[in-house]
A and B are shown apart, each in its own frame.
Chain A
Amino acid sequence: MYFTAKTMFRSRLKYVAFTLLGVGMSAPVWAQETENAPIGRESLLGIIILLSILVLALLGVINRLANGKLQSDIAAGKVDGEELKDVNLFKRIHPGLYVVFGLVGFFILMTAGAVDLASKVGMQQGYGPKQPIAYSHKLHAGEYKIQCSYCHTGVERGKSATIPSANICMNCHNVVKPESEQIQKIYDAVGWDPATQAYIPGYKQKPIQWVRIHNLQDFAYFNHSQHYKVGGIACQTCHGPIETMEVVKQQSPLTMGWCIECHTKTKVNMDNGYYKSVHGKSEKFKQAVASGEGMTISQLGGMECSKCHY
């Protein structure tokens, strides 16, 4: 599942301004990896370039043909050579049109660069690459209602929610659906023999190389447990209706604007002993509790730079 043309165009438009600053400063030498390409941009650009060349070539041919026809017609006396000496089509195109074409080409190239830069800093909303094992959240989280934290064990404790290790899969899949081609991939990775129901001794295990979807930059500190355990935020708030996704894609833009938007709106849990004891003395806090209005994260200093950047 790649970018739909619509979202891609929108996201490109969004980052044009960003690119104008960024492109000139960077000398992009980016990874040459092509496997599992999330955006088939090279083919798209190739098509554009090919089409442009084709259009030019066709114009040239038409021009030549028309000119040849004209010359022969003049020779044959069908038309008056004095009137139509030159039928060069290129000269007939309004000069402004070249500028327009140039600008369009320029714009396309720039936006391509912009998307690349944006995705480089993790701004790739909608990115849903093909994974080595076609794991379905729709099936597990949606249909079977397995709790997210059953697999994503770090969500209550750490910064990372963690991508589950294969031993978590094997908790069930040592018996569940061993015939599936996808499950076989897990067996292949860990060295499980479904026939004997045992791990193969001395097996050289092959770690599963999932394609990373969310790439929050290192200069922004984000902690899952802060949001899930302390804030009580549901996974879906940021990750979208994950229980309906056959293939997971990045739901939220992961931009600072997006973070801040939520932090200005969301109210903190005033019952938490920490907030009570630390902020309890402040009049504002007392009023907010008394009125039942509560306070937002940003009102409690949650928008200060060093809360996320250090």
Chain B
Amino acid sequence: MNNSERKYWKSVDELNNTPAFQQEISSEFGQEIPVDEIIAENASVSSTNRRDFLKIFGFSVGAASLAACNTTPIKKAIPFLNHPAEMSPSIANYYASTYFDGNDFANILVKTREGRPIKIEANNLSSTTGNGVSARVSAAVLGLYDTHREGTKNPMIGGKEVSWADFDKEVIALLNDAKANGGATLVTPTLISPSAKALVQTFVAQFGAKHVVYDSISYSGMLEANQVTLGKAVVPYYDFAKANVIVSINADFLGNWGGGLMNIAGYSSRRKVNEEGNMSVHYHFEPALSLTGSNADFRSTYLPSNEGMVVAQLYNEVAKQTGNAGAGINGMEVAGNLVAAAAKKLVSAKGASLVVCGSNNKDIHIMVNNINKMLGNYGQTIDGVNALNIRQGNDTAAMNALNGINANSVVIFAGVNPVYTMGNGSALAKQIQGAKASIALVSGHDETSSVCSHIAAANHFLESWGDAEVREGSYSLQQPSISKLFNTRSLEECLLAWNGNSASHYQYLKDFWSASMFSKQSKYTTTDSFWRNSLNQGVLELTGTSSDNASMASFNANNIKGNAGGLEMVIYQKMGLGDGLQANNPWLQEMPDPLTKACWDNYLAVNPMYAKQNNLTEGDLVTVEANGYKVTVPVLMLPGMMPNVVALALGYGRTKVGKAGLNVGQNAYPFVSMMNGNRSYYVSNVKVAATGEHRKLAQTQTHHTIEGRSIVKETSLGTYLAAKKAGKHEEYNLRPHLLMKNEKGEHVKVNAFDETVTLWNKRKYPSHHWMMGIDLNACIGCGSCVVACQAENNVPVVGRQEVINRREMHWMRIDRYFTFRAKDGRAITEETEYGGEQYNYDGNVFREFKNDVADFSDVSVVYQPVMCQQCDNAPCETVCPVLATVHSDEGLNQMVYNRCVGTRYCANNCPYKVRRFNWFSYYDNPLFSDVNPAQTELGRMVLNPDVTVRARGVMEKCTFCVQSIQAGKLQAKKEGRNIKDGEVKTACQKACPSNAIVFGDVNDETSDIYKLVNSDRAYGLIEEIQVLPSVQYLVKVRNNDKNQA
């Protein structure tokens, strides 16, 4: 039985092979091209006879020539008067810095050209986020050049721009006045900067003020639980690299939960199959499909209100097997007895297992902590000693402070937007307007600042100094990589001014580090060398050893059971927008969601069966009502959802933001309600009603379909190891073959990609041969590479309508395939098999369904990044009439924009559909002025000067970052040596937080890429057509053999 011959599908329409889908894939364009209209409009031209043509031609040439009777424009070249030694035109500088916006954290390198930051990459020296960056971190560079920032160029009082001196004078007077009324309130997100915290302390003491930590996404239930079991209200550090067994109950730890980016490297390092066949196993339980859930080996669903019961079930099972007392309440098993299976596996890996939970319920978290304690995970996979400093907001304290704003209040909002992110935003807005004074530290107006009386114009983080201690002992520095674009200040600069400290922020920070950090280390002997080296490296890692500091604790069983009833809705964050802070970032808006492949919208994700039962189809507008709040959103069918659960994403529906993010989607924050003192991210008794209207979703999902060809290969760990041992590679990596007659007339099997069966002459690559390898086991589908590619290669943003027209310009995409399981554990492959029975991991019938009411909750997902495959026998090259795409001696399929005349034959002939056509000049067409950053003087500064901005009518595609290859070669030539392996990296490779992408020269037999392409798991896409792609994929191996479930 070959596991590789599975049927994968990208959408429910594709699986059902509906007429609509048939029609959609049969047409090249998303919509009818109005050829007749175009001809009719230009009827005068088409009826032109030769004489008219000559007249018009003569006149236009004459007129053009007359118009040309002018001087040639003078171009100026203005060098520095005093050239800074560290900066040279055309040479990129990298600055180590830190990104933290209250949610996401990353140690970063900022690439600057001619003094402009143009890209954010990972700082490889970091132990927490050294592998790569997330899409949001990559995209943050665009925020620096957001024209929306021009709204807050200067500090403002009552809408009038004032000087900082006047502003400070008034604010200090207000703060002093407020002392009598219990002091001002400073609201910030979680601060992880030791130096900023010290400033806040001084500020609080000096003005008798209160400091309130308000996080847009709450972890307060978890903090309260850890206060009980660990003795401190923290999010512990989870070491996924040490965990052999991972059980997650609704914790999207690869996406937005906990440390997010920090978890990915450890997790994916254990998902790669090493020589010993050692790989972690991942069980996932969740009501709605998440990025993390889609990567699990075993996954099952439950109702959000039953979350506590599922944890209790796990508690009871683990307690039974470890000889501990049970939870004292009856748990709830999920379909397929998967909780029991997970518990068994957990106990077998005591001390090397991990249970994480995404609930925000204190008592559920105490149960989870107890489970981990019983499993001996503290001090091993969970570090509660050197815990994370992120997500410190306490809901009760924050809500009390914000709801207590009254006519006497002086309140300062720095880096928070509670009017948008709090459930009762509109009520809060009224309170703020009624307050004595409200000061917003903001970069570009948001919902909160627009009701504030005072605006302290804020820096972008790339313009600011700062530091961070993301984890106990993990310090990092933040340094500005550009001078301030506007007359702005950071929070620290404001506090210094208000505290009466005349030091510059730089001086303050340097002194602070010399005083507080220098003594913690012994590597550097002088404060000066310590400071310079720390700044240069960006990180200072002094993490201590871990130990078991947890204790078992009791919990309130009454609080475990959630509010059940009716339809339940999960409120979640997407990989693109997260909490909505960066909603005005067009790169993030246009990044297809990993699971739904939708962009520029939020939507009600429902199980296809739910849709069927309620007579809904994709894109139907429905009203969603709960907690007395109502929104109208389109429906999107998402397999993997619990059938009677729907999901809606946060981060959309911004009403005070720049052009790109304005009124995109609907705000879901008001659905978030308080439960047992903490914010709860699901609601019960949701009413969904069709409006009869329709809104087409901008999805990249079924574009570029591969029509059922098997391009994803997947196997289970057991099958893989057994077959590998037996030398039967074809069992998990069946490569296409042909039967050919040999000299004796016998039929023999020949590899379809063998050079003897092809008409082509084999290409020779005498110098370099660049190839890319992608480990499907490591790829988690997060989309970070897509945004990094966009930043590196000046890929235009096209906006919602053009995505609907299937004209998105991303050079790489991440294909997402769903699949079912069959009786023997393998995935269901053919349409005929679908519609019968669906099977459990143990091979028993899970549930039966008929074609019309298929339950799509139990699906597994495979991600596959696809970019130009740089084929040796590239089909695009042979059809280009103007030789605009030709092959290089180094294995690259070159694209020459200036030769391209836009016939689009190449895109038509590309088997991978990776070529993109510029239908418009996106950089200056007013149609795209709202979404395309390259249209303004400010936004244009983010463009990479090494890559051409493509014109209208030109085809483009992935180049393997040829600019980096050329730069690497030049460096090697200057030094008179060969290129070292790993010296040249593509943008996607650098961004990948899971190290799934390998790139290099296969002519170098010691290189990583050489090993990868010669691996028994390596295969190319659609190899049977003999194009010999230069991108190779490693067969996905899941650790989901039957005996584990």
**Residues of A participating in the B interface, judged by any CB pair closer than 8 Å:** 20, 23-24, 26-39, 41-42, 45, 106, 109-110, 112-113, 115-117, 119-120, 124, 129, 153-154, 157-160, 162-168, 189-190, 205, 207-212, 215, 218-219, 221, 223, 225-226, 229-230, 272-275, 277-279, 281-282, 284-285, 300-301, 304-307, 309-310
Assess whether B969 is interfacial by the CB under 8 Å rule: yes
Contact status A162-B89, CB under 8 Å: yes
Contact status A28-B67, CB under 8 Å: yes
Contact-residue bracket for chain B: 35 or more
Known: A27-B64, A190-B81. 11 other contacts (CB 8 A): A24-B57, A37-B74, A39-B71, A42-B71, A112-B69, A113-B61, A162-B89, A165-B79, A218-B945, A230-B973, A301-B889
- Chain A residues contacting B886 (CB-CB under 8 Å) are 304-305
Assess whether B62 is interfacial by the CB under 8 Å rule: yes
Report how far A290 CA is from B73 CA in the complex, Å. 52
- Chain A residues contacting B523 (CB-CB under 8 Å) are none
Contact status A165-B88, CB under 8 Å: no
Enumerate 6 A-B pairs (CB-CB under 8 Å) in ascending A order: A28-B68, A29-B67, A33-B74, A42-B71, A218-B948, A278-B768
Contact status A209-B81, CB under 8 Å: no
Report how far A209 CA is from B78 CA in the complex, Å. 5
Contact pick for B69, options A41, A154, A218, CB 8 Å? A41
Contact status B73-A33, CB under 8 Å: yes
Assess whether B544 is interfacial by the CB under 8 Å rule: no
| Chain B minimum-CB-distance residue to A31 | B73
Contact status A279-B970, CB under 8 Å: no
Question: Does more than half of chain B's interface fall in helix, strand or loop, or is it mixed?
Answer: loop
Contact pick for A221, options B64, B949, B966, B975, CB 8 Å? B966
Contact status A30-B70, CB under 8 Å: yes
Report how far A278 CA is from B57 CA in the complex, Å. 54
Q: Mark B52-85, 1 if CB is under 8 A from A, else 0.
A: 0000011011101111111111111111111100
Closest 4 pairs between A and B when the two form their complex, measured CB to CB? A159-B90, A273-B976, A31-B73, A109-B65
- Chain B residues contacting A210 (CB-CB under 8 Å) are 76-79
Contact pick for B970, options A23, A35, A226, CB 8 Å? A226
| Chain B minimum-CB-distance residue to A280 | B978
Report how far A31 CA is from B76 CA in the complex, Å. 13
Contact status A309-B897, CB under 8 Å: yes
Give the shortest distance, in Å, between A129 (CB) and chain B (any CB): 7
Contact pick for B978, options A24, A106, A159, A277, CB 8 Å? A277
- Chain B residues contacting A38 (CB-CB under 8 Å) are 71-72, 74
Report how far A167 CA is from B90 CA in the complex, Å. 20
Give the shortest distance, in Å, between A75 (CB) and chain B (any CB): 44
Report how far A219 CA is from B963 CA in the complex, Å. 12
Q: Do A41 and B79 contact each other (CB < 8 Å), given the known contacts A23-B65, A110-B61, A307-B966?
A: no
Contact status B889-A304, CB under 8 Å: yes
| Chain B minimum-CB-distance residue to A284 | B766
| Chain A minimum-CB-distance residue to B883 | A305
| Chain B minimum-CB-distance residue to A166 | B81
Contact status B82-A301, CB under 8 Å: no
| Chain A minimum-CB-distance residue to B894 | A306
- Chain B residues contacting A29 (CB-CB under 8 Å) are 67
Contact status B88-A119, CB under 8 Å: no
Contact status B75-A35, CB under 8 Å: no
Give the shortest distance, in Å, between A52 (CB) and chain B (any CB): 14
Contact status A223-B970, CB under 8 Å: yes
Report how far A212 CA is from B977 CA in the complex, Å. 36
Report how far A117 CA is from B69 CA in the complex, Å. 11
| Chain A minimum-CB-distance residue to B959 | A310
Report how far A284 CA is from B766 CA in the complex, Å. 10
Contact status B972-A274, CB under 8 Å: yes
Q: Do A157 and B88 contact each other (CB < 8 Å), given the known contacts A162-B79, A167-B83?
A: yes
Report how far A26 CA is from B63 CA in the complex, Å. 11
Contact status B91-A157, CB under 8 Å: yes
| Chain A minimum-CB-distance residue to B885 | A305
| Chain B minimum-CB-distance residue to A49 | B69
Contact status A212-B76, CB under 8 Å: yes
| Chain A minimum-CB-distance residue to B92 | A158
Q: Do A116 and B898 contact each other (CB < 8 Å), given the known contacts A110-B61, A158-B91, A210-B78?
A: no
Report how far A163 CA is from B888 CA in the complex, Å. 34
Give the shortest distance, in Å, between B447 (CB) and chain A (any CB): 40
Assess whether B947 is interfacial by the CB under 8 Å rule: yes
Contact status B976-A272, CB under 8 Å: yes
Give the shortest distance, in Å, between A260 (CB) and chain B (any CB): 14
- Chain A residues contacting B330 (CB-CB under 8 Å) are none
Contact pick for B77, options A42, A109, A211, A284, CB 8 Å? A211
Q: Mark B937-963, 1 if CB is under 8 A from A, else 0.
A: 000000001111100000000010011
- Chain A residues contacting B82 (CB-CB under 8 Å) are 165-167, 190
Contact status A306-B959, CB under 8 Å: yes
Assess whether B647 is interfacial by the CB under 8 Å rule: no
Report how far A83 CA is from B71 CA in the complex, Å. 53
- Chain A residues contacting B974 (CB-CB under 8 Å) are 225, 229-230
Contact pick for B948, options A164, A300, A309, CB 8 Å? A309
| Chain B minimum-CB-distance residue to A44 | B69
Q: Do A168 and B71 contact each other (CB < 8 Å), given the known contacts A158-B89, A230-B970?
A: no
Give the shortest distance, in Å, between A120 (CB) and chain B (any CB): 7
Q: Do A274 and B973 contact each other (CB < 8 Å), given the known contacts A42-B70, A129-B74, A219-B898?
A: yes
- Chain A residues contacting B973 (CB-CB under 8 Å) are 226, 230, 272, 274-275
Report how far A61 CA is from B143 CA in the complex, Å. 71
Contact pick for A310, options B57, B65, B69, B962, CB 8 Å? B962
- Chain B residues contacting A42 (CB-CB under 8 Å) are 69-71
Assess whether B767 is interfacial by the CB under 8 Å rule: yes
Give the shortest distance, in Å, between A222 (CB) and chain B (any CB): 10
Report how far A158 CA is from B90 CA in the complex, Å. 6
Contact status A164-B70, CB under 8 Å: no
Contact status B894-A116, CB under 8 Å: no
- Chain B residues contacting A31 (CB-CB under 8 Å) are 70-71, 73-74
Contact status B60-A24, CB under 8 Å: yes
Contact status B78-A306, CB under 8 Å: no
